[in-house]
Amino acid sequence: MFVLNVPAVRYRPPWPVPLSRRLRELSRGHAHVAYVYPKPNHGTFRYRVLNMLEALALEPALGGSWFSAADLWCREEILACADVIVLCHCRYTPELADLVVRARAAGRRVLFDIDDLVFDTRYVPTVLHYLDHPTGEAALDHWFSDFSRYGQLLRLCDAAIVTNDYLAARVRDFADLPAAVVPNFMNHRQLRISEQILASKRRAGYRRDGKIHLGYFSGSKTHHRDFALIVDALTQSFAADSRLVLRLVGNVDVTGPLRHYAHRIEVFPLQDPINLQRLIGEVEINLAPLQDNPFTNCKSELKFFEAAAVGTLTVASPVFAFRESVLHGETGFLAPAHRWLSVLSEAVQKLSDFEGIAEAAAAVAHAGYRPEVHAAAIRAALFGDGWQPGGASAGVL
């Protein structure tokens, strides 16, 4: 484990912002983008709304802000200002349908931003199996209804914005709509703390204590089957190497023979996104197992770049996003389901060259996953090719 000279920070969520201020932010500049998200949170809202707005704010001619379902009582005021409306991870409601109809009647562009395969009912059985969820009548009614509401709202929109090409193909197949790809990336606050952690490692010459920490940063119990993929590999690795320690952050249940090593397992509660970076930065190896199915291939590579940004190596399942972002043995490691034990062993052996791989991964993260890198792609997805810096989009306004 790395002993970092970076203390925990006091974290405050960035979204307790008065509606009046958010309306003012929407009205600035010459072109205006309103993001709508059901309710602010640390997950999709942060990556697909707040981070997008942070990137858009780099262009002075653009005004942008976000609104929740609770703000839709003032949708007339939002619509009067917004040139583009982005419905992010929203399900059909009468209020949102009314917003879409009014927006399109007024010539506004309406987009649907989604980062999960949750809109096509053909994949409900896949998702229920992946989540290890009960499949009784009530559960089936809920999940088929849930997916249908996402799909209905998606089909009302002009186009979609998604996180990778695999998901874009699923959108086009389902709704026959254009789908632009804007990947997830880190915000400047997350980048600053990551830079501090990485600098602390560099100053210490990547010095470690005598243990080797493997980190699994879950977030929710929906990853039960994912973690199960590596339980046997972890158990055998622990039996062979007394230096190994497992760090679990979030909602993870340790089952089976791995429980025999409870004295070598650290458990932390869910973390805010800033202090999470410190916990990731302390471990040598970040574990990102995923089942390989259409749902997981729509996931983004955020578990790779969040770890890479703090100089931590990732061993990941080779689903679409990880195959596209991780160079095996150079910036991380890819482990098919049947090879987790051997790839974990390979990663541990490569710790002698930890600094070289960690620096290569960090370079990828800090160069490729920051707001300014993706600002142009976001503008193109929102406004089309007619956008001109310093002015409005001729195709929209």
Global confidence as pTM = 0.94
Q: How confident is the model at residue 386 (pLDDT cuts 50, 70, 90)?
A: low
pLDDT for residue 246 is more than 60? yes
Handedness of CA 319, 143, 52, 280 (dihedral sign): negative
What tens digit of pLDDT does each residue of 118-133 get? 999 999 999 999 988 8
The mean per-residue pLDDT over the stretch 87-97 comes to 97
What tens digit of pLDDT does each residue of 185-218 get? 999 999 999 999 999 999 999 999 989 999 999 8
Gap between the Cα atoms of 36 and 41, Å rounded: 13
pLDDT for residue 219 is more than 70? no
**β-pair partners for 31:** 62
Structure token digits, residue 160: 């979609």
Higher pLDDT, 228 or 251: 228
pLDDT of amino acid 337: 94
Q: How confident is the model at residue 43 (pLDDT cuts 50, 70, 90)?
A: confident
Of the candidates 181, 157, 83, 99, which has an alpha carbon nearest to the alpha carbon of residue 394? 83
- Of the chain, the percentage scoring pLDDT greater than 70 comes to 95
Considering the chain, what is the average pLDDT of its residues? 93
Q: How confident is the model at residue 220 (pLDDT cuts 50, 70, 90)?
A: low
pLDDT for residue 396 is more than 60? no
Q: Tell me if residue 270 falls in helix, strand or coil.
A: coil
The H or E element that residue 68 is part of is strand 62-68
pLDDT of amino acid 385: 67
Of the candidates 335, 348, 189, which has an alpha carbon nearest to the alpha carbon of residue 283? 348
| From 22-26, 44-48, 68-72, 128-132, the region with the lowest mean pLDDT | 128-132
Higher pLDDT, 34 or 389: 34
Q: How many residues belong to the chain?
A: 397
Of the candidates 125, 114, 248, which has an alpha carbon nearest to the alpha carbon of residue 170? 114
pLDDT for residue 172 is more than 90? yes
What domains, with CATH codes, occur in the chain?
Answer: 19-185+370-383 (3.40.50), 188-368 (3.40.50.2000)
Gap between the Cα atoms of 249 and 247, Å rounded: 7
Gap between the Cα atoms of 203 and 199, Å rounded: 6
